[in-house]
Structure 1
Amino acid sequence: MSASDTRPPVTGWRRWSAYLALTVVFAVACGLLSWWQWARRAETAAENLRVAQNYDADPRAIDDVLPALDAWDEGDEWTRVELHGTYLTDEALLVRNRVLGGQPGFEQLVPLQLEDGTVVVIDRGWLPVGNGVDALPDVVPQPPAGQVDVIARLRGAEPELPGRTAPAGQISSIDVATIVDDLGVDGYTGAYGVVASEDPAVAEMPAAAPRPEEDEGMHLSYALQWIAFGVLAFIGLFWAWRRERRIAALPVEEQAAARAPKRRHDDADVEDAILDRLDA
């Protein structure tokens, strides 16, 4: 056996510097993941606050909330507005690929033309996929005819989905700007309204979306867990370094045995074998 085959393991500063560098990288990754969870928690908390402040607040005039046709502020999401106008029933659309309660369906969009001629796109609710060959809703309820008073909750317009196509009378997202542009009239393009009530009311209505849950989820727990993982990595490194130092202080002939994995007691092995035979 050559001298190189019996060379003792490297325990110097180069080895432990490499271990330290790996630990630092792991801890930084844990810190970034923890920061991401904190950011997600902050976003959820802000959404919960908007729901609490706006969802059941007294309705306001739409031009008070949206001073310009393309205006939108996320802080106004779920704000209730009072609208007076006439539904443009012939311009109704179905938004594809909408899920409610785990079931696929559509959202029914109908432009509402206000008394001053401007248009607000209104989401009247959700309709399930029907049993027909075209997978359309079996029934599409009609909005009230003539003048109608609508209380709606505002939501931000959705972006256009490039490359997505839809059959006539359908649309892939609530891309309000495209809907208003196709109508050829002035209208609000930064937001749309989700029906809270209509007067006069109709007997059949699409299913209303449930109130958003005001729950922060597990983001705080996950953020703390990632911090704990980063701290434990340094604790583990320190423990390994201390163990290596203690082993290095032993006589050379005892170091190999100290580093070897601990074997279980022979009696325990016999007992395990007996239990395995009994289970069989």
Structure 2
Amino acid sequence: MTRYRFLLTPTWLGWLAICTLFAVACVFLGQWQIDRREASLEEINRIVSNYDADPVPYSNARELFDAAEADDEWTVVELTGEYLEDDSRLVRNRAHRGSVGYESLVPFSVAGTDDVVIIDRGWLPTDSSDGSRPEYSPAPPEGEVDLVARIRPAEPAINRGAPEGQLASIDLQEYQDELGYSLLTGGYGLMAEESPAPETAPRQLTRPSMEEGPHLSYSMQWLTFGLLGFIGWGYAARIHARNRDFDEAEAAASGATPHAVSEDGGPVHAASAVPAQDRVREANRRRRMTSGRLSDEDLEDAWVDQRLGR
């Protein structure tokens, strides 16, 4: 193993340390992708469990509007009550099928209770001539309405303002402050059905995606990148050792006595895994190329290398 003693020098140990740090970073990035995949799978499981389930009466689901948890998302709830149209708001910059528009929020007074919950009636496209307002804004049904909605957790506040009558996000606490009366601020309902149905209604938001994404393949790629760092370090060491062997063979073929010193300060040993005959042949070829006196064999080898694209 004396052929590879140079690997113990500070230079090569430094490169090994860099490869190790790179591999550790790749492991953390790979784990980050695994965590993202697990979060996607949890969301898919919630959709499968809740999205198409039978509706739950409001009396059994009131706490979901008061303090919705992640596992409660997409729970289907039945409500009866009346829309408070005068206090409706538009939520700006909401994406839907590749377009940006608004979502229509309307307070809903639940019959038989003092509760007011927020219902997201759906998405509205922007006006083609003025993106600061929706193209149309249909009114909700008047009088008593039977409603089926899916629970969504309230959104956090964002550091962005909005024009009068609009919200930057579905931050129910901010909405309550604007209205001046109490709301259930833990979650809101995404409208699925309402009866009586109006002639014109906002567009219903699309069913959430069931795709887990490429996180698993990305995590494998990061782990592979970390391994490639060590492979590259080992390949560079092998090439370095091979080039030193050729230098020794060239010195021997020219009749000089090699007095080379290895990178660790010790003598260079001639022992090598490369056959002596091959080392001498390569050394002679290098010397002829340097002097410009190429043999027919050298020219033939060059022609073959060119044809093979080496």
Q: Sequence identity of aligned pairs in percent? A: 42
Is contact 1:118–1:185 with CA below 8 Å preserved after alignment? no
Q: 1:138 to 1:66 in 2, by over 3 A?
A: same
Q: TM-score, normalised by structure 1?
A: 0.83
The whole-number CA distance in structure 2 between the counterparts of 1:145 and 1:112 is: 11
SS at match of 1:212: coil
SS at match of 2:63: coil
Identify the residue that residue 67 of structure 2 maps to in structure 1.
71
SS at match of 1:67: helix
Q: In the alignment, does 2:273 pair up with 1:237?
A: no
Kindly state the Cα deviation for residue 35 of structure 1 after the two structures are TM-superposed.
Answer: 0.8
Report the count of equivalent residues.
260
Q: Which residue of the other structure, out of 142, 145, 149, is the alignment partner of 1:148? A: 145
The whole-number CA distance in structure 2 between the counterparts of 1:69 and 1:153 is: 10
Q: In the alignment, does 2:213 pair up with 1:217?
A: yes
SS at match of 1:159: coil
The whole-number CA distance in structure 1 between the counterparts of 2:180 and 2:131 is: 29
Q: 1:241 to 1:90 in 2, by over 3 A?
A: same
SS at match of 2:181: coil
Identify the residue that residue 263 of structure 2 maps to in structure 1.
none
The whole-number CA distance in structure 2 between the counterparts of 1:160 and 1:188 is: 16
Q: Which residue of the other structure, out of 254, 267, 272, is the alignment partner of 2:303? A: 267
Once the two structures are superposed, the pairs formed by residues 12-23 of structure 1 within 5 Å of their partners are 12-23=8-19
Once the two structures are superposed, the pairs formed by residues 1-280 of structure 1 within 5 Å of their partners are 12-67=8-63, 70-115=66-111, 116-133=113-130, 135-162=132-159, 164-249=160-245, 252=248, 254=250, 266-267=302-303
Is contact 1:153–1:195 with CA below 8 Å preserved after alignment? yes
The whole-number CA distance in structure 2 between the counterparts of 1:110 and 1:76 is: 21
The whole-number CA distance in structure 1 between the counterparts of 2:107 and 2:43 is: 27
Q: Which runs of 5+ in 1 are unaligned?
A: 1-9, 273-280
SS at match of 1:29: helix
Equivalent AA in structure 2 for residue 107 of structure 1: E
Equivalent AA in structure 2 for residue 267 of structure 1: W
**Bigger shift: residues 218-227 or 55-64:** 55-64
Kindly state the Cα deviation for residue 241 of structure 1 after the two structures are TM-superposed.
Answer: 2.5
Give the RMSD, CA atoms, in angstroms. 2.8
Equivalent AA in structure 2 for residue 92 of structure 1: S
Task: Looking at secondary structure, tell me which structure has more helix per residue.
Answer: 2
Q: TM-score, normalised by structure 2?
A: 0.76
